[in-house]
Amino acid sequence: MTPAMNRQSEDGSDEEFDSEEFEDVDLNVDSAAMNNDEEAKDFQYKTNEDGIQITINTGPDSVASKRRGKKKKQSHLCSHEERLFRRNIHMFHLFTMVGHGVVRNSWCTTPSLLKDLARKVPTKLKDELKVYNRERLKENLSAQFKTRKLLDLLRHLMEYWYKSWHVKKSYPFLYKKHWDELNDQSKTTISIDKSRFLSMIGKRKGSRDIAAQGFVALLRSLGLQARLVFSIQSPDFTNLSQVEKVTEKHTEKKKLLEREKRKNYQDKVKHNKPKGQYAKFMQSVRSNTRAYSNVNHTVEGDDEIAYQVKNYPVFWCEVWDKDSKKYITIDPIVKKIIEIVSTKSKLEPPLNNTRINSYYVIGYDRLGGVRDITRRYAENYNAKVRKKRITREQAGEEWFSGVLKGANSPKRKDA
């Protein structure tokens, strides 16, 4: 390159350099002022003749707040031993409830019970059943028509059973218990053996759970292929909160329910003056009706349980439709509905319900077969429900499969 060209290149670079505008930066910064800045408390600035030195504080003081927050969060969780205990209790409860369903299902097939139920069915319903069985054999009728006939028959049987059954609220029913309630002995339990079970169904008096089981026996007495469905409510082993924290949370819920109940009662008193017990008795004598007492027999905490449990059953039934090759779901007591589940069942409680969930739904047929049918009644099975089940792990999956296999009757083990 010639000297003229070198000179031209240097001149051009100088002109380009001079054309840039630079902001004046004061390098003589007071290091003490910057070190006192709250936003720079983890940094130290020093200036000397060599330049600027920046020191980053990586000691325990810089992450102390984060560690304190983490420890505070962990303090609300139970210990490792408590986690294992809750897991074992969950599995033990699940095991016993599967066996409970096996026993109740076998009681629903007692020959004397089926004979007595079939004898008491009204003649009108028996005639409707004969018409359905006769039309099922006709090949010129469509499957939709036959299914419609079956649905009508089931609806009439459900109405008959619901009207003839007297649900006694004093009898206990199944629901999910919290960990702080496992040792609660304040609520009395009623032991029901087979003879008492048959007597309650014969008299049409009992809890809503026994009423649903009796309806399964009624359908079987008429020759319908009915299956008892049991939604098991085992304690949530994925809840890792300490018992004290769980108690505080439920105490707040109880206070809100009591406040709402008190408000509703005050509004009711303003509009309707409550009658005394004597006035109720005299009114019943004049009208020849039953007098009900206004004495409150509820135990503390029952309102919170009833609020979440009253709209969702634990026991219901399914009937196999031979024409459509589908199961028909029937809840004869709580919701009093009949449905063919396609996507979301009306019997599935919301996920925020802490007393009843569709995490384990087991079906029991007349021959003693036991199957896990949770997927039919849990819309978000793969997303959220599976995380709450013991089957979320391979070992738990194998264990639960073994439990169901062992619960099958000898007739169904090879099926």
Domain shared by 87 and 215, yes or no: yes
Domain shared by 217 and 322, yes or no: yes
In a domain, 127, yes or no: yes
CA distance 350 to 125: 36
CA distance 278 to 284: 10
Domain shared by 43 and 96, yes or no: no
**Residue 228 lies in domain:** 83-245+300-407
In a domain, 146, yes or no: yes
pLDDT digits (tens, 9 = 90+) for 267-276: 554 555 444 4
In a domain, 309, yes or no: yes
In a domain, 336, yes or no: yes
Contact predicate 366/226, CB 8 Å: yes
Residue 76: per-residue pLDDT: 75
Residue 295: per-residue pLDDT: 33
Contact predicate 284/290, CB 8 Å: yes
In a domain, 143, yes or no: yes
Domain shared by 331 and 203, yes or no: yes
Domain shared by 162 and 310, yes or no: yes
Model pTM score: 0.71
Residue 159: per-residue pLDDT: 96
In a domain, 263, yes or no: no
Instruction: Return the CATH number at 379.
Output: 3.90.260.10
Q: How would you write the pLDDT of the chain (415 residues) with one tens digit per residue?
A: 555 555 444 445 444 445 455 555 555 555 455 445 544 455 555 555 556 665 655 555 555 555 655 555 556 788 889 999 999 999 999 999 999 999 999 999 999 999 999 999 999 999 999 999 999 999 999 999 999 999 999 999 999 999 999 987 777 888 998 888 877 665 667 789 999 999 999 999 999 999 999 999 999 999 999 999 999 999 999 988 887 655 555 555 555 656 666 666 555 545 554 444 445 445 655 555 544 433 333 334 566 677 788 899 999 999 999 999 999 999 999 999 999 999 899 999 999 998 999 999 999 999 999 999 999 999 999 989 999 999 999 999 999 999 999 999 988 876 5
pLDDT digits (tens, 9 = 90+) for 32-76: 554 455 444 555 555 555 566 656 555 555 555 556 555 555 567
Domain shared by 39 and 114, yes or no: no
**Strand 370-372 versus strand 360-364 pairing type:** antiparallel
Residue 203: per-residue pLDDT: 93
Nearest Cα residue to 407 out of 72, 29, 104, 19: 104
Residue 290: per-residue pLDDT: 45
Contact predicate 293/310, CB 8 Å: no
Domain shared by 218 and 338, yes or no: yes
Domain shared by 340 and 216, yes or no: yes
In a domain, 151, yes or no: yes
In a domain, 366, yes or no: yes
Domain shared by 131 and 46, yes or no: no
